[in-house]
Structure 1
Amino acid sequence: MTRFSESLNNVLQDLQKGHWSKPLLELSDKFSQLPEDARFDNDILNMLLQLRHDLEQDPSLPLSVIAAIRFSSLDAFLLIDFILQRDF
């Protein structure tokens, strides 16, 4: 088990979303070619940690909806959008 998968499992347990682990690990693997300073796994963990903090402040927040919104603004997805809009 990698450090990322351990950290991911820990935060997902806190969020009671352990079933998100496999899809998030698979998604992270798809972005493994990104440069070290743009690691997608770091973005995933940071987003989940922020979600955990937000839920501590307001437990009534719709976690899945907020996660979906935040995923769309992660750097990796913005990079893909930029590449797809380029005319090579």
Structure 2
Amino acid sequence: MGNIVVVYELDKPVAPRPSPGVVGGEERHVRKVHAAPTAPGEPAATGPRTLCGKDTFAMETGPWITEHPGTPWYPAQYASVVCPDCDAVIET
């Protein structure tokens, strides 16, 4: 397999409760971490689908990853929300 990109499937924005004197913003949490191939002919772009077949259009792109034997393809802090289907494709 060639290069892959880590992409984040995010929850819908959640507006925090307003606090006096604090400017509010929207907060989004990572729902699932997916892997996607790079776009054909464009190694700096994410392909249109994840390895499990989901559309990458609305996903947030993470760091670029190349295959290194023995190391996970996803950031360690997101191990609990890794897409099992994407992980299975990479493992084979």
- Say yes or no: TM over 0.5: no
Structure with greater strand share of residues: 2
TM-score bracket relative to the smaller structure: under 0.3
Could you state the TM-score of these two structures normalised by the residue count of structure 2? 0.21
Larger Rg: 2
Structure with greater helix share of residues: 1
